[in-house]
Structure 1
Amino acid sequence: MSAALPLTEPLFWLLASVGVVLSGISKSGLAGGAGVIAVPLLSLVLPLPLATALLLPLLIAMDAQTLRYYWRQISWAEARLLLPAAALGVALGTALLGSLSATHLQLMLGVLCVLFALWQNLLPYLTRWRRAALLWGTLSGVSSTLLHAGGPPLNAYLLGRNLVKAHWLATAAVVFALMNWLKVPAYLTLGSWSADVLLCALALLPLAWLGVWLGKRLQGQINEQQFIRLCRGLLLLSGLLLLGKAWLAA
């Protein structure tokens, strides 16, 4: 990877810090719904491949801490449906790395996020039909591999499953953990991790843990209906951010 990290620029550290803390909060408090914000933020000062490479080790660390909080609440009935689909999505995303336009993917994903955030009556039908987990799990794996934006498709599915909040968070956590570890071979093959990238990720690690801790505290302060409304709002916000990013890049 030819681009270098702008380690002496305060704006880079500000955006990286905000993005990492929001991702951590999202992991343990919002089922990944706000995690998509980190990549657009970092992409303001970094090339997209460099932004995703920097975030992946931090996401893996966040997954471990989140699973420690919620392991006992995982809905294995849902996880058994989602995990194979997520793995398939990562495989497809890996095959597309370097060949699919990030702008086109952002545009498609943004449209889906906005559509399913606003069209509430459609979600029950698209999340309860027989192959729904395959569709949304695969889409989550693809978008997670390319953009670390697996949260919106996964939340679009979970939103219609009427899970208890803790089960929603725990199930999302185990799916994200699998997807992020499955991305590692592709990132290694592409040579995404220079010494500077790994050292920068290490410097940001305390903020990642802080974000996960804050997310755990946040989710304990809101009830089920507030949680669903917040996730729907984050789905809409994520979609608008992705559409804005795609429009700026066009």
Structure 2
Amino acid sequence: MPDIFSSDTLSLAFFAAAVPAVMLVGLSKGGIGGAIGLMGMPLMSLAVDPVKAAAIFLPILILMDIVALWSWRHFNDSKTLLMILPGGVIGIALGWATSAYVSDDALRIVIAAATIFFALRYFWQVYGPDKNRPAAALLHRPAAATFWGALSGYASFVAHAGGPPFQIYVLPMKLDPKKYTGASIRFFAIVNAVKIIPYFLLGALGAENLTISATLLPAALVSTMLGAAIVKHLESEVFYPMTYALALVAGVKLLWDGLPI
């Protein structure tokens, strides 16, 4: 892959893809439905190969996490975070250990199928024939928290795509939107911090990738703060349908990326 700074044309082509990609992820980090962040990696991969795109994104994600943690410092659901975080760390370890052996496409298809089913089930319950009998909020389930947390950590390590598994476990508990967002931001901030070590050991955080990341930081900061400002004014009646709809879109996109077509 040529150096993106080697020509004006290639540089412009890179930033035309990279800036919108970073802004989508920033809005997601700010709280506007974690699923839209899945669009960032494929979009940046239009300009550089996916491995390089993932490496460029990690420092940006960490900065976004810092901004988002500050923006949502007063909101959290500590029990949810403590339940799902151990699985997330396990998933990162599995991703590091098996990254050379497991097909990224197979992982995309599994996550996509679960996400699409989960989103369609929600819309059936809310808008289908039994809409006047909404499903009760689920309680914490340790086994499910570990499973979905591990899948989220694994998907986050290999493709920065941990949002849908996290949502599959947490959204059915119907937390207050602000507490949900605070827990989500804390979970992925910790996951991304843990990922630094294996990414460094795999040689993905070299000087060139870090330099490219630095050029995209302004877009990351602005979009993350904007996402946080918007979500803080959303009511549950708007937040949850929007988040499930974005999860459905992300599931379809993951399925499209994973299928051999």
Stretches of structure 1 that go unaligned for 5 or more consecutive residues are none
Runs of 4+ in 1 over 4 A off after TM superposition: 123-128
Q: 1:29 Cα deviation (Å)?
A: 2.1
Contact 2:137 2:173 (8 Å CA) reproduced = no
Q: How does 1:204-243 map to 2 (within 5 A)?
A: 204-243=216-255
Contact 2:59 2:213 (8 Å CA) reproduced = yes
CA separation of 1:91/1:217 partners in 2, compared to 1, >3 Å: closer, same or farther? same
Partner of 1:168: 180
Partner of 1:39: 41
Secondary structure of 1:119's match?
helix
Equivalent residues, number: 247
Contact 2:87 2:153 (8 Å CA) reproduced = yes
CA RMSD, aligned part only? 2.0
CA distance in 2, matches of 1:131, 1:44: 38
Q: 1:44 Cα deviation (Å)?
A: 2.3
Q: 1:243 Cα deviation (Å)?
A: 1.2
Question: Which has the larger displacement, 128-137 or 221-230?
Answer: 128-137
Q: How does 1:131-142 map to 2 (within 5 A)?
A: 131-142=143-154
Residue 154 of structure 1 pairs with residue 152 of structure 2: no
TM-score by length of 2: 0.88
TM-score by length of 1: 0.92
C-alpha deviations, 1:110-156, integer Å up to 9, x for none?
112111111125x9798754422111111100100000001111112
Partner of 1:201: 213
Partner of 2:96: 94
Secondary structure of 2:35's match?
coil
User: What's the % identity of the aligned pairs?
Assistant: 30
Partner of 2:108: 106
Contact 1:39 1:51 (8 Å CA) reproduced = yes
CA distance in 1, matches of 2:184, 2:3: 31
CA distance in 2, matches of 1:109, 1:230: 19
Partner of 1:187: 199
CA distance in 2, matches of 1:100, 1:124: 37
> Aligned AA for 1:78?
T
> Aligned AA for 2:158?
L
Q: How does 1:12-51 map to 2 (within 5 A)?
A: 12-51=14-53
Stretches of structure 2 that go unaligned for 5 or more consecutive residues are 126-134
CA distance in 1, matches of 2:73, 2:103: 36
